[in-house]
Structure 1
């Protein structure tokens, strides 16, 4: 009876991992990355090499640390308590991401609805317009900004919208396959989602090249250029992270990980990807279309 009681008590304890040097090593890698970037923007040739060193350290930690977590999960260290806390943590993480993008959308709203119209209506001391040729309409580079052509919605942006919406559907299809323990459907759905995410990034890179080389649309193109690249650029960064995470989940699925009962990592990445899809829909409407 004592042995059984001890086993039950042990099963009810929250899993606490062994102490690790990975957080310290990761901090060192991030410091090297920042130091190299600062040196590079100040003209130091060695800055890029320090950045590469910092990136290598960060990648080492990611592979080692995440590999340990995967090993703990597959070894049965995580049970109901841990699963619940992981889900709470992912929900709060996505909540912070919502606030992150909300700040940029709020900036776009302020510039379009308040700042630019106010600049167009400003008058000087003698009742004359400060910028007679500036109408204060959107899209705008400001009273004295460079000329540019705004990015249209119907073209690559519309194609990328179709790609991301399709990726959400293929990921949901993969999820259904996992819940039915259909490994083929799971892996095919994940592979299709990774492919669609990669295509999105490829088309966005082409769009950026087209904007810079042919439209005159750069980060220096006033308020429109700044808000356009900040919003679409950070979203593209999130798509990149999501695609990498989906590729990892695909590799884990090919190795037999996840089933109808144990699949938090899959669901966490799926939540993140669907969040990225929703953000893109808002971008397409308020940055490209309206």
Structure 2
């Protein structure tokens, strides 16, 4: 399909949601991703150098393996003999590093028409693997998938070209799994706002510590002190609980989620 024949905006009628990046004033190339609404497709706005053709989209599957809360797709098109290979590689690597900080549980799929680009730099820099092992255009592997999801998918399968394309289509299917419901995890904590800290401090200043000062045995002093201070801590800083997803990192807090 010529890029000039695809409208810039497509209304979302039905269950598929399109994300498109066009090649202006050119009749080949262009990028498009179609995803079902249940995957909550989100177009990621990132800085893209001039002359680079990439499209970044995050999908959030309703059911996913542990530590795979979302999948970030980077679709690329690199024209034959284009001088922008180094810029493209630097852009992908730097953007993936930034998105890993923003979405620590995300997995990555970098795919598209690489033409003559060697993907080893991507694989080494981002700990990814290239999974296409068959020619996609004549006798060359031009269309590739570089990902950290290879252990969750079946080997890619070649399919006939779409329309007048000279490139094979690629079918990449997840490994069938039995979905097990993961119950939420209850984490308990004690908030320490300034108001409660001040109240605890005032108690410390005015408490007489009779049960500590009126006994001579050191062991009993320590036991009485520990009991009193623990009871006071529990009183001034009451315990609360929060529900977290099993895939959340231990350091993910309610405050972090609210600011995400």
Query: Would the TM-score normalized by the shorter structure come out above 0.5?
Result: no
**Could you state the TM-score of these two structures normalised by the residue count of structure 2?**
0.21
Q: Which has the higher strand share?
A: 2
Q: Which has the higher helix share?
A: 1
Determine which structure has greater relative contact order: mean sequence separation of CA pairs < 8 Å that are 6+ residues apart, divided by chain length.
1
Rg larger in structure? 2
